[in-house]
């Protein structure tokens, strides 16, 4: 976690992540181009720029499929959380690959004529009279613009500045993916020789859709649902259900999400379940070095007051707890951000 904004935030883990990512990208593109040049020579040579366009487009499509699978994979199996940790670098890398594809297409197909290449992207290659004749490249351009917005605002500065809007903005990845599928379906898949492309699209849609559906049905963020009645305190359950240094997530009246942690064996603390960084699920985190640690990017908060340890300044809402026997009771009314309250001590034995 960081308290100042630098252009690109790296640490050793992120460097390893990025190096592995770009080695895979380079392997794919270099071998794609090399094999094409090896098998299609002289009179059968496919135009170099078309080969590059295809290499970057298929590479980008595979990358986007992978990016969209990381979220549900991490929910299904926490061992995939490290992939989520640096997903934004993955996303920006994907955008760069897609941008190269788009630039090559504009250069090769839309330049060297009487029409401005950018105008040609909008006006050439079809008409707006019918769905079947709609210029397929427009869908690609629109999705590229969406990915640009996401890449340009991927930095923590924008995350902090835009607040809740940031998350909504970055959900554009789904309409962007849908536009890309239409772009491929109305473009390359209309060719007489589509090769392996239809299978790639089928596998991608099945993987992305299937994993999202499976994780939503069987691995949704599980939360203990409680109803608040007349009393301000709601019964949560036995403290023994919480492992030491771990938390549980409680949903009160289907709305307020609260994370209750047990730490130092005998202390209980309730804070908001929503990390201030990227809305990560704090209740799935762990208490490390005395701080609640978000499972997504490692942002930390003190259980006593919901504040990040200095020099960091993030604050989350805190909640009051009380213990009657072994049973935890929660006051679901959130206290202001970073409000300290008395630590609930477990005094009974189990």
Partner 1 sequence: MKNSDKAPFFVGYLDMPKQLKRFYIPLVILVGVLSALGGMSIAKQQQSDGPAEWQTSSTVTYHGLLKMEPYPVLHRINPDNANETESILLVNQGKFSAEHYAAPLEDQWVSVTGYPIIRGGWTMLELASDQPIHTAAKIEEPSEFSILGQSSSSVSLGAVSFSGEIADSKCFLGVMNPGKGTVHKACAEVCLLGGIPAMLLVLGEDGLKYGYLLTHSDGSSVSKELANQAAKQVEVNGELVKKGDLLYLQIGESEVL
Q: Which of residues 104-123 bind partner 1 (CB under 8 A)?
A: 108-110, 112-115, 120-121
Task: Tell me the backbone φ, ψ of residue 5, rounded to 5 degrees.
Answer: -100, 125
In which element (H, E) is residue 148 found?
helix 136-152
The least distance separating partner 1 from the CB of residue 203, rounded to whole angstroms, comes to: 11
In terms of Cβ atoms closer than 10 Å to its own Cβ (0-12, 13-18, 19+), residue 255 is exposed
The 10 Å Cβ neighbour count of residue 44 is 7
Rg (CA), the chain: 25
Out of 76, 99, 125, 304, name the contact with partner 1 by CB under 8 A.
Answer: 125
- Bridge partner list, 316: none
Q: How far apart are CA 25 and CA 59, in angstroms?
A: 7
* Widest CA span in the chain: 85
Comparing CB distances to partner 1, the nearer of 321 and 335 is 321
CA distance 223 to 26: 42
Q: x/- site string to partner 1, residues 176 to 195, per CB under 8 A? A: ----------xxx-xxxx-x
Question: Scanning residues 128 to 167, which ones bind partner 1 (CB under 8 A)?
Answer: 135-137
| Interface residue with partner 1, options 124, 153, 279, 326 (CB under 8 A) | 124
Confirm if 17 and 86 have CB atoms less than 8 A apart.
Answer: yes
Convert residues 246-265 into a mask of x (bound to partner 1 by CB under 8 A) and - (unbound): xxxx----------------
User: Counting contacts by CB under 8 A, is residue 273 touching partner 1?
Assistant: no
117 within 8 A of 106, measured Cβ to Cβ: yes
Task: State the minimum distance, in angstroms, from the CB of residue 6 to partner 1.
Answer: 14
Selected binder of partner 1 within 200, 207, 266, 323 (CB under 8 A): 200
If the CB atoms of residues 1 and 92 are measured against partner 1, the closer one turns out to be 1
DSSP 262: E
Report in angstroms how near the CB of residue 204 gets to partner 1 at its nearest.
12
Nearer to partner 1, 290 or 340 (CB): 290
> Which member of 3, 15, 103, 127 binds partner 1 (CB under 8 A)?
127
- Interface residue with partner 1, options 165, 202, 232, 243 (CB under 8 A): 243
Tell me the two tokens of residue 72.
């549900």
Question: Considering only CA atoms, which of 277, 288, 265 is closest in space to residue 87?
Answer: 277
Any residues with CB less than 8 A from the CB of 58 and at least 6 apart, and which? 32, 197, 200
Q: Does 213 bind partner 1 (CB under 8 A)?
A: no
What's the min distance (Å) between Cβ of 230 and partner 1? 26
Least separation in angstroms between CB 300 and partner 1 = 9
Segment 72 to 101, residues that bind partner 1, using CB under 8 A: 77-79, 81-82, 85-86
């Amino acid at each position: 976690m960081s308290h100042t904004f630098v252009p690109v935030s790296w640490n050793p883990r992120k460097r390893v992540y990025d190096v592995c990512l770009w080695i895979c990208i380079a392997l794919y593109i270099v071998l794609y181009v090399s094999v094409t040049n090896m098998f299609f020579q002289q009179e059968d040579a496919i135009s170099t720029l078309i080969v590059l366009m295809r290499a970057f487009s298929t590479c980008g499509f595979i990358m986007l499929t992978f990016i969209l699978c990381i979220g549900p994979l991490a929910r299904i199996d926490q061992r995939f959380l490290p992939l989520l940790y640096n997903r934004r670098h993955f996303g920006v890398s994907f955008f760069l690959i897609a941008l190269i594809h788009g630039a090559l297409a504009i250069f090769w197909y839309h330049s060297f004529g009487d029409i401005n290449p950018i105008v040609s992207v909008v006006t050439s290659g079809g008409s707006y009279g019918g769905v079947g004749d709609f210029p397929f490249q427009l869908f690609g351009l629109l999705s590229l613009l969406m990915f640009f917005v996401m890449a340009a605002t991927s930095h923590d500065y924008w995350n902090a500045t835009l607040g809740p809007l940031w998350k909504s903005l970055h959900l554009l990845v789904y309409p962007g993916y849908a536009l890309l599928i239409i772009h491929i379906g109305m473009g390359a898949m209309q060719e007489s020789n589509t090769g392996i492309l239809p299978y790639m699209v089928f596998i991608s849609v099945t993987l992305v859709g299937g994993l999202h559906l499976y994780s939503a049905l069987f691995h949704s963020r599980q939360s203990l649902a409680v109803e608040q009645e007349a009393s301000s305190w709601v019964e949560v359950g036995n403290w023994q259900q919480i492992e030491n240094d771990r938390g549980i997530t409680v949903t009160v009246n289907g709305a307020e999400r609260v994370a209750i942690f047990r730490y130092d064996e005998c202390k209980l603390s309730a804070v908001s379940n929503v990390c201030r960084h990227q809305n990560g699920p704090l209740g799935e985190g762990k208490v490390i070095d005395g701080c609640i640690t978000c499972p997504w990017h490692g942002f930390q908060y003190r259980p006593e007051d919901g504040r990040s340890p200095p020099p960091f300044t993030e604050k989350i809402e805190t909640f009051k707890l009380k213990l009657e026997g072994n049973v935890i009771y929660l006051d679901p009314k959130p206290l202001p951000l970073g409000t300290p309250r008395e630590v609930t001590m477990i005094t009974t034995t189990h």
